[in-house]
Amino acid sequence: MFDWVQNMADWLVYDALNLEKGAHLTEALNFFIYDTTKILILLFVVIFFMGIVNSFFPIDKVKNYLSRKKLYGLEYLMASLFGVVTPFCSCSSVPLFIGFVKGGIPLGVTFAFLITSPLVNEVAIGLFVGLFGIKTTIIYVVSGVLLGTISGIILQRLKLESYLTPWVQEILANAQIEQDIFQEEKQSFKHRLKIIWAEVMTILKGIIPYVIAGIGIGALMHGYIPEGFFEQYMGKDNLLAVPIATILAIPMYSNASGILPVVQVLVTKGIPLGTAIAFMMAVVGLSLPEAMLLKKVMTLKLIAIFFGVVTICIIISGYVFNMIL
Amino acid sequence: MSKVIKILGTGCPKCKTMTGIVQEVVKENHIDATIEKVEDIVQIMKFNIMTTPALVIDDIVLIKGRVPSKEEVLALFN
């Protein structure tokens, strides 16, 4: 499907720029041009598609759905799935959290949403398809959704309501299942498309620098680090690799667009995919800035429990990935 | 009558972009309005929104969760 992009990159590097085939710099440049073009195309398609889905399932509708319907345990999975289609912005996580609590949605279900949303979203999916192919993408999406679901169920079992900050507990006490009727923005499809288009452009503009930086670093590593370089340190038989990679990643923060191109190169150089994905999930899903934001609504103890449960689930999924891939 | 514009957001880049756009629209079109930035989460939550930034004019939430274009903001005043 992307042969023409490779042809274009080949032509540009070997013919137009007349660089020597096989030289490190040439190959790095070729890889950079090919990867950037392919990924930007994929990102555009996925973001646009998700924009359309999201326009018809705005967050308010999701909240009303989750608080009204009796789902007999499936609500964790539903919340996690909604997390996939809702674009995530870390600055919205607090208002989202409060909105869910207000709507009488159980804490665990809210967590399921909050965990999956940054892990599996339009940007991550677009990049994953471009860098690892469809099969790995599907496995990633499924395990991301399950991770949110299972962590949500565990967190619900732990009965953490008393660890919310006092003003949130007050909201919790006054939570109403019956929702204020959601005022849907009445718009024609054409008008929606215009808004979606503007959104797609804003998102793309926002992530292009990260993607290019990520691919740039990736391209350099691609050209200069020998194949299988990391295998000797972090191979599959090193059982400590997954937990170490995960824990190292927690304080780091990057969005999926910056970290994934680097992860891909790490994988081609010998780090097992499961270890690399565990690292990436911890970078994207858990971070110090997020913990700082959540302090408004949660006590430190609750944040620690939340991060702890998610970390354990990420480590387990890293091992599972290493076993099946 | 002077309008009261509130921009709700905890200070993320998107909220700053929205503030800039609204300020420009108000200035360029000589709209009689005061712009107020609401950054306190407790105050923000009183408007029942779940995504920021949000644009509130005379206590009605008109846009939430995205950054509007200048034209769109201008249209809200007419």
Question: Per-residue pLDDT tens for B33-71?
Answer: 899 898 888 888 888 888 888 899 888 888 888 888 888
Segment B7-20, tens digit of pLDDT: 998 877 788 888 99
The reply to whether A184 falls in a domain is no
Tell me whether residues B14 and A59 touch, CB distance under 8 A: no
Token digits for A217? Answer: 């670093």
pTM of the model: 0.82
The reply to whether A185 falls in a domain is no
- Give the number of domains in chain A: 1
- pLDDT value for A50: 86
**In sequence order, which ranges of chain A are alpha helices (DSSP H)?**
3-10, 24-56, 59-68, 75-85, 93-102, 107-119, 122-132, 134-157, 166-173, 189-224, 231-234, 241-249, 256-268, 273-285, 288-294, 300-324
Domain housing A271: 8-175+192-324
SS3 readout for A112-146 = HHHHHHHHCCHHHHHHHHHHHCHHHHHHHHHHHHH
Torsion of CA A289, A292, A297, A298, to 10 degrees: 110
- pLDDT value for A5: 85
Tell me whether residues A94 and B15 touch, CB distance under 8 A: no
The reply to whether A262 falls in a domain is yes
Tell me whether residues A99 and B69 touch, CB distance under 8 A: no
Q: Alpha-carbon distance A283 to A274, whole Å?
A: 14
Q: Domain spans of chain B?
A: 3-67
Among residues A276, A303, A308, the alpha carbon closest in space to that of A290 is found at A303
Instruction: With a cut of 80, say whether residue A245 has pLDDT above it.
Output: yes
Tell me whether residues B52 and A91 touch, CB distance under 8 A: yes
Pairing of the two strands B54-57 and B33-38:
unpaired
Tell me whether residues A59 and B48 touch, CB distance under 8 A: no
The whole-angstrom distance between B67's CA and the closest CA on chain A is 8
- pLDDT value for A180: 54
Q: Indicate the average pLDDT of chain A.
A: 84
Query: Is the separation of the CB atoms in B11 and A293 below 8 Å?
Result: no
Among residues B73, B78, B75, B76, the alpha carbon closest in space to that of B20 is found at B73
Q: What is the ipTM of this complex?
A: 0.78
The whole-angstrom distance between A309's CA and the closest CA on chain B is 25
Q: A96 to chain B: which residues are within 8 Å by CB?
A: 50-51
Q: Return the amino acid letter for A104.
A: G
Residue A91 is nearest to which of B10, B42, B66, comparing CB atoms? Answer: B10
The whole-angstrom distance between A187's CA and the closest CA on chain B is 13
For domain B3-67, give the CATH superfamily.
Glutaredoxin (3.40.30.10)
Torsion of CA A111, A112, A118, A120, to 10 degrees: 180
Q: A98 to chain B: which residues are within 8 Å by CB?
A: 41, 45, 50
Chain B residues bordering chain A (beta-carbon distance below 8 Å): 9-12, 14-15, 41-42, 44-45, 48-52, 65-67, 69
